[in-house]
Chains A and B, each alone.
Chain A
Amino acid sequence: MKNMKKSLLAASVMLAAAGAQADVTINGFGNVVGGIASSDDVVLNFDDNIDFQNDSLFALQFSSDVSDKITATAQVLSRGEDDFDVAFEWAYLSYEVNNNWTVTAGRSRLPLFAYSASLDVGYTYHWVTAPNAIYNVPFNNLDGVKVSYSNMLGGWDILTDVAAGQFKGDAFGADLRGENTLLVSLQASNESLTVRGVVGRTDATLDLAGSSDEQAALLAGGFSTMRELGLVALSDSLEMEDDEGQFLGASVMWDNYQYFVGAELTKVMIDDSFSNDDTAYYVTAGARYGKWTPSITYERFESELSINNASLINDIAGSGLPDSVAATLTSVALGAQASQVEDYSITSVALRYDLDSGVALKADVSRYNDDVSDDNDGTLARVAVNFVF
């Protein structure tokens, strides 16, 4: 108790000291989401027991003016899917050069998609969570520099972001890194219409050998065996190591504050690796009736199989390796690519109710259809409370 008093005192002294130097603005937000899937099904990480952890999160954002033109911002976020471990989601300095130009340095959101910047703040959109097909990517934040330009041209608000740096994430239980990442986005909006386009590139490396996933580790073993047996070209064409990845995205949203309709399309390609080309899109529409916002969304994700190293795989048979080894390696090479094939669609209806300024209640029902295996089909129902302060 005595210790606690002391630390409280220390904390208040620190706060007072901080207050004496600069005003620190503290804002926060959170999402509490409960969901349950149809019996014996697993849909978007929810099973048939009610779960309040998967999509829930809490965050505090601190910002302070370092000088007239420089602002420091830190966002501390705790995600249910990470057992509510607390981490610095963002930490950056932004320098407002003038009314049009802003330079941001540090860790901030990678401006990949239309809703990337406010993705964690459920209160700012009509869905319970942003469409999985597009927004469920293994990385979201950039360590680097972002230059933003905004202006008004002929009745349109123009916003351009150029971001450069690196990102880190998780995929297949392994570390995913993107070096030399460059992203350019352009957005134009008027009173009711917003259109956006984005192009990007990166050098992607996936450390499969260090994966906690059994199958991924198996693939890594297969790739290194190929290398040891002299099938270097094949191994190179499968491993994701410093391989160029390209990203394309486009979105449109029309909203007259009574009705809205929007769509977004993205394409991800990673050269010379076992990863397939992914295409994803969604279409959403809704209406606002006072405090109620009903909406409907259709989303689709396609990861198509295109074996572009078939001749290298055929070469395994003529490599003089024992038949059983050749057969195993052939199945690793084909299996690595085939296992990434995904094709699903989700149709969901959602309802938002604005309880109070800063608090929204939501509910949605989603039907998941897997076109690769019907066994994965299922239905998910969720309820949510989103708040900001």
Chain B
Amino acid sequence: MLKKVVLALSLSASVAVSAFAEVAVIVHPENTAEITAEDVARMFLGKAGQFSDGKEVLPITQETATTTDAFNTGLLNRSSSQVASYWAKQVFTGKGSAPKQVSDDAAVINLVKDNKNAISYVDASSVTGDVKVVLTK
């Protein structure tokens, strides 16, 4: 009886975890710049173009909605539609364009491991040794 309850609890806990997936912000392993959560938000909203060491920032987003929603809510403090509306405003006022987008975690990691300027995010469970985790949220 007790076992069953524990099983049920752990099942519901894992469901809860997947609904609020943890997102890892990642960069190239050789990137030693100091990056705070606030820096990440500014980089992905086009307000900061350089890392603390002066290197140019190449922010990358991904099409996988659950991961991007979690990143937008957790780090940009905005829903995905608010982020879309923000970029529409920037684009049509000539103030910039939205970050480049790739398909999923694997594509993100592939890109970030080969590009020292890149910064992106993946589901925390997808992180490999090819990239460096800056922070998780």
Which A residues form the contact surface with B (CB < 8 A)? 25, 27, 29, 61, 63, 71, 73, 75, 92, 94, 99, 104, 108-109, 117-118, 120-121, 123-124, 152, 157, 191, 257, 288, 290-291, 354, 357-358, 360, 388
Contact: B84 with A357, CB < 8 Å? Answer: yes
A108 touching B88 in the complex, CB below 8 Å, given contacts A99-B49, A257-B77, A357-B80: no
**Further contacts, 7 of them, CB under 8 A, given A118-B89, A257-B79, A354-B79:** A25-B97, A108-B94, A121-B88, A124-B88, A257-B78, A291-B81, A360-B85
| 7 A-B pairs closest in CB distance | A117-B93, A354-B81, A124-B89, A388-B88, A357-B84, A118-B89, A121-B92
Q: How far is the CA of A141 from the CA of B91 in the complex (A)?
A: 17
Q: How far is the CA of A71 from the CA of B97 in the complex (A)?
A: 12
Contact: A124 with B94, CB < 8 Å? Answer: no
10 of the cross-chain contacts (CB-CB < 8 Å) are A92-B94, A104-B94, A118-B88, A121-B92, A123-B85, A191-B77, A257-B78, A290-B79, A354-B81, A388-B88
Q: How far is the CB of A32 from chain B (nearest CB, A)?
A: 16
**Of B49, B50, B88, B94, the contact of A123 (CB 8 Å cutoff):** B88
Chain A residues within 8 Å of B50, by CB: 99
Q: How far is the CA of A358 from the CA of B85 in the complex (A)?
A: 7
Q: Does chain A have a CB within 8 A of B14?
A: no
Q: How far is the CA of A50 from the CA of B77 in the complex (A)?
A: 40
Q: Chain B residue with minimal CB distance to A25?
A: B97
Q: Does chain A have a CB within 8 A of B55?
A: no
Chain A residues within 8 Å of B77, by CB: 191, 257
Q: How far is the CA of A120 from the CA of B91 in the complex (A)?
A: 13
Q: How far is the CA of A291 from the CA of B47 in the complex (A)?
A: 26
Q: Does chain A have a CB within 8 A of B82?
A: yes
Which B residues form the contact surface with A (CB < 8 A)? 47, 49-50, 77-82, 84-85, 88-89, 91-94, 97
Q: How far is the CB of A351 from chain B (nearest CB, A)?
A: 15
Contact: B92 with A27, CB < 8 Å? Answer: yes
Chain A residues within 8 Å of B94, by CB: 63, 71, 73, 92, 94, 104, 108
Chain B residues within 8 Å of A29, by CB: 88, 92
Across chains A and B, the number of contacting residue pairs, with CB separation under 8 Å, is 59
Contact: A124 with B92, CB < 8 Å? Answer: yes
Q: How far is the CB of B66 from chain A (nearest CB, A)?
A: 14
Q: Chain B residue with minimal CB distance to A152?
A: B47
Chain B residues within 8 Å of A354, by CB: 79, 81
Contact: B93 with A358, CB < 8 Å? Answer: no
**Of B80, B81, B93, the contact of A118 (CB 8 Å cutoff):** B93
Q: Chain B residue with minimal CB distance to A118?
A: B89
Q: How far is the CA of A291 from the CA of B85 in the complex (A)?
A: 12
**Of B47, B84, B92, the contact of A157 (CB 8 Å cutoff):** B47
Contact: B81 with A121, CB < 8 Å? Answer: no
Chain A residues within 8 Å of B93, by CB: 109, 117-118
Q: How far is the CA of A61 from the CA of B91 in the complex (A)?
A: 9
Q: Chain B residue with minimal CB distance to A357?
A: B84
Q: How far is the CA of A288 from the CA of B80 in the complex (A)?
A: 13
Q: How far is the CA of A191 from the CA of B49 in the complex (A)?
A: 18
Contact: B82 with A118, CB < 8 Å? Answer: no
Q: Chain A residue with minimal CB distance to B83?
A: A357
Chain B residues within 8 Å of A288, by CB: 79, 82
**Of B80, B82, B91, B92, the contact of A257 (CB 8 Å cutoff):** B82
Q: How far is the CB of B40 from chain A (nearest CB, A)?
A: 14
Q: How far is the CA of A71 from the CA of B94 in the complex (A)?
A: 9
Chain B residues within 8 Å of A358, by CB: 84, 88
Chain B residues within 8 Å of A61, by CB: 91-92
Q: How far is the CB of B80 from chain A (nearest CB, A)?
A: 6
Q: How far is the CB of B61 from chain A (nearest CB, A)?
A: 12
Q: How far is the CA of A99 from the CA of B50 in the complex (A)?
A: 10
Q: Chain B residue with minimal CB distance to A108?
A: B94
Q: How far is the CB of B92 from chain A (nearest CB, A)?
A: 5
Q: How far is the CB of B73 from chain A (nearest CB, A)?
A: 10
Chain B residues within 8 Å of A27, by CB: 91-92
**Of A92, A118, A360, the contact of B92 (CB 8 Å cutoff):** A118
Contact: A124 with B85, CB < 8 Å? Answer: yes
Q: How far is the CB of B103 from chain A (nearest CB, A)?
A: 16
Chain B residues within 8 Å of A71, by CB: 94
Q: How far is the CA of A358 from the CA of B80 in the complex (A)?
A: 10
Q: Which of B78, B81, B84 has the most CB of A within 10 A?
A: B81
Q: How far is the CA of A118 from the CA of B94 in the complex (A)?
A: 10
Q: Chain B residue with minimal CB distance to A123?
A: B88
